[in-house]
Each structure stands twice: as structure tokens, then as C-alpha cells.
Amino acid sequence: MSTATGETKRVTTHSIQAMKNRGEKIAMLTAYDYSTACILDEAGVDILLVGDSASNVMAGHETTLPITLDQMIYHAQSVVRAVKRSMVVVDLPFGSYQSNSEIALSSAIRIMKESGAHAVKLEGGEEVEESIRRILRAGIPVMGHLGLTPQSIYKFGTYSVRAKEDAEAQKLRDDAILLDNLGCFSLVLEKIPATLAKEVSESIDIPTIGIGAGKHCDGQVLVTQDMLGITKAFKPRFLRRYLELFDMIGDATRQYIADVKSTNFPNDQEQY
């Protein structure tokens, strides 16, 4: 992780590809704020995704659709300030790239220029081909996202597993090859059958990063607040909880309240 001069070696699109080539799995987590990003970066996570899931997790919206480009840039700036090693990828929010490729490019440029992030992510395959081409031509690395693409939730109608039917599975295979050929540096596969994710991961050169897509992806991503048990009610089958922070923070808060009410806090050592 550190060079001979003591400088931390940053994760880049090249190191991500090299990880796939040598069979090392890629660990990605979401981050939306400075304090959390400091912890995740120091722990050694390879990629921090400033996901548009900030719309749900940070702002309490029901979907990812309401979050704006300005809000994504604010979150990205906070995360970029924290990192020394991780690569920072930022979601292009709903409405910032679908209408035409010129708008897509200007949204991606704003993210890169105003936040200092290292790459952008966007959802979809051939529908957004022109936007991806244009962003890549400007020298901005792009991470793709196929399968359950939450910005299309009103088209899907549910958050259930995608690409179980042959036609949708075939479109996903074709889109994955297209994104690879266009020059995306990696691809998120969300909530699709593990067998399909395995087939796709083996059929393309770039790394796949799965969420609910099984163990054969080249890497995994989870929403940090889900993985830490802050979002208590969200319990999909694919989620592994490493802590139960909702309960732990609740216990600490109840203890604090009790200490204040009982005048146990602050004590003589905790005052000037």
C-alpha cells in the first residue's frame, strides 16, 4: 500500500484491472461524507462509491430519483477530501445524462472538476451508449451499472431480481460486452442470478462488481450503512451485516441521556 518514499499508492483504473487479471477480488463500499470516508479509506477499501443511494440513506427519500447533481457534487467533495488511497467513483444522478450526450458530458465534467473524484458511474447499456462514448472521449473513466438499475424503478415496478427471463438476460449479456468494448473500466451488476453474473464476468475483460449478484463477480459492493446495520429495516438476502450500529448507537444515546439527566455527565475531569 505504501511506496518507498512513504507515500500511499492510490488505487487507479489500472490497478483495478490488474486485480481482476491476477484474481484478486475488489472491495467497494459507498461513502457520502468525510468522517465515514476517512475510516473506510484507512481500512483499505479499494473503491469508494459516492452512490446516488445517498438519496435514500442520507436524505430519506424513497428512491434515488430526487437527488440532484449539485447534491452529488457536495457529497463527492466531502469524500474526496478524506481519501488517501481509495479510488472515488461518483454516480451521475437521474436526469443528468439520459436526455442527450452533451448534457451527460457536462454533468460528468462538473463532477470531476468540482469534486476532484476519479471516475463516474451511470446506469444502463445501449440506451446510454452515446453518453458513455462522449464522456470517455473526454478522458473521464466510466463505471457501468446493469441489472437492477434503481433509477428505472418506476419502469421495473419492484426491486426484485432482474434478468431471470431469457430476453432480459440476453440484453444484459449484450450490454455488458458493449460497455467493455466502449472502454468502461468496470461494471456493477446489481441483483441478478449468480450464474448469469458468473457468465458475464468470464465473458468480458473489465472487472464486474456485484451487489446481490453472487460470489463469481470480480468484486463486491455494499451500501456502507446497510453493511454496518444503521439501516435496520433493510434486510435483503444478499446483505451481510458486520455490525448492528442502529442498536449500538441507540444504546450509547440512551446512556448519554441518562448521564445528562442524572448529572453524571460531565464529571470533574470533563470540565475546565
Q: State the catalytic residues.
A: 190
What is residue 180's three-state secondary structure? helix
Question: Residue 211 interacts with ligand KIV (CB under 6 A)?
Answer: yes
Tell me, residue by residue from 54 to 93, as one string, x for binding to ligand KIV by CB under 6 A and - for no binding: -------------------------------------x--
Question: Residue 142 interacts with ligand KIV (CB under 6 A)?
Answer: no
* Identified binder of ligand KIV from the candidate list 48, 111, 172, 188, rule CB under 6 A: 188
Question: Residue 46 interacts with ligand KIV (CB under 6 A)?
Answer: no
**Using CA atoms, how far apart are residues 23 and 218, in angstroms rounded to an integer?**
8
As given in the structure block, the three cell numbers for residue 101 are 450526450
Taking CB under 6 A as the binding criterion, the range among 51-59, 72-80, 102-110, 111-119 that sits at the site for ligand KIV is: 51-59
As given in the structure block, the three cell numbers for residue 231 are 439501516
Question: Residue 53 interacts with ligand KIV (CB under 6 A)?
Answer: yes
Taking CB under 6 A as the binding criterion, the range among 38-46, 48-56, 197-205, 240-248 that sits at the site for ligand KIV is: 48-56
CB of 148 to ligand KIV, least distance (A): 9
* Reduced DSSP (H G I as helix, E B as strand, rest coil) percent helix, strand, coil of the chain, to 5: 45, 15, 40
Shortest CA distance to 207 belongs to which of 197, 195, 217, 192? 217
Tell me, residue by residue from 221 to 260, as one string, x for binding to ligand KIV by CB under 6 A and - for no binding: x-x-------------------------------------
- Please identify, using beta-carbon distances, which residue of 8 and 216 lies nearer to ligand KIV: 216
Residues 149-157: contacts with CB under 8 Å, at least 24 apart? 149/123, 149/124, 149/190, 150/52, 150/53, 150/63, 150/64, 150/123, 150/190, 151/52, 151/64, 151/65, 151/93, 151/94, 151/123, 152/123, 152/124, 153/63, 153/64, 153/65, 154/63
CB of 58 to ligand KIV, least distance (A): 11
The residue count for binding ligand KIV (CB under 6 A) is 11
User: Which distant-in-sequence residues (6+ apart) come within 8 Å of 192 by Cβ?
Assistant: 146, 147, 148, 161, 162, 163, 169, 172, 212, 213
* Identified binder of ligand KIV from the candidate list 51, 93, 144, 210, rule CB under 6 A: 51
DSSP 50: E
Question: Residue 41 interacts with ligand KIV (CB under 6 A)?
Answer: no
* Identified binder of ligand KIV from the candidate list 11, 16, 19, 30, rule CB under 6 A: 30
CB of 27 to ligand KIV, least distance (A): 13
Question: Residue 220 interacts with ligand KIV (CB under 6 A)?
Answer: no
User: Which distant-in-sequence residues (6+ apart) come within 8 Å of 229 by Cβ?
Assistant: 241, 242, 243, 244, 245, 246, 247, 248
Which residues lie near ligand KIV (CB under 6 A)? Answer: 30, 49, 51-53, 91, 188, 190, 211, 221, 223
